[in-house]
Amino acid sequence: LQYFTLSKHTCLTDGPSAAHTRRSNEKDFEDLTQALQLVKDIIASVDSKVNEHEKKKRLKEIHGRTDSKSITRMKSGQMFAREDLQRSRKLLHDGPLQLKNAAGRLKDVHALLLSDVIAFLQEKDQKYVFASLDQRATVISLQKLIVREVAHEERGLFLITAGIANPEMVEVHASSREERNTWMQLIQNAIEKDDDEGIPSETEEDRKLLETKTKEMRGEQLSLCYFSSLTIFHIFSPKLF
């Protein structure tokens, strides 16, 4: 069953019937409103779980495309390898960006915003490797990271590593001002979020169980909205006509 987001589909309780109920009986309308909110809360919860699974699946795909021998050094001196992309981390956002090197040229990269780092990958021989940028780190910790706009450049942003000796600054460019603003907001949100405990490593059994549950969610989403709305409709239908 092809996945779709339930919140994009109107339930039977939205529309003229609800307005008619309010005119007929305010108490019944309040009950109907509460019931509708419960339906929407369930829908939002299901959508959130499915989105979380899709992010895990996406990170696994990127991990699979990354060269197993690719490794890079972070500013702290810590080595970061392909396996570290998934280890106790979750994907928050990913997409194409550009890095500006010392010569002023832009390099195409694929950016991964993870729960505690932002990583930049580049394509090589149809695989991903960690990007190279003038000996600067391209896997950047979110701890003490500062995000700033580039003056007179609506598509650019600076990632400034502060709080350590010899702080580094990386200039990043998006495809548009809107895309730049989206990245800035998401990075800032990730920086501010208290995620010290991380995400436990996922076992093969956990992964299969999550996939099974997600398939069940996908199959039940439409029937959930329909059944809940139809039940409410039957309860209040005598008062609507």
Distance CA 224, CA 216 (A): 12
pTM of the model: 0.67
Rounded Cα–Cα distance for residues 172 and 155 (Å):
8
Q: What is the pLDDT of residue 240?
A: 45
- pLDDT mean values, one per 10 residues, the chain (241 residues): 51 54 68 86 85 92 97 95 94 98 96 97 96 95 95 96 83 98 97 59 50 54 52 52 48
CATH topology of domain 91-192: PH-domain like (2.30.29)
Task: Give the pLDDT confidence score for residue 73 in this predicted structure.
Answer: 96
| Sequence spans of domains, the chain | 91-192
* Nearest to 181, CA basis, from 150, 203, 205: 150
Beta bridge partners of 114: 91
Q: List all residues 6 or more positions away from 55 whose beta carbon is below 8 Å from its beta carbon.
A: 90, 91, 92
201: its two tokens: 């490593």
For residue 18, the model assigns a pLDDT of 53
- The pLDDT of residue 197 is 45
Q: Which residues contact 190 (CB under 8 A, 6 or more apart)?
A: 92, 113, 115, 142
Q: Quick one: residue 95, left, alpha or beta (phi over 0 = left, psi -120 to 50 = alpha)? A: left
Q: What pLDDT is attached to residue 127?
A: 97
**The pLDDT of residue 178:** 98
**pLDDT for position 88:** 87
Q: How far is CA 191 from the centre of its chain?
A: 14
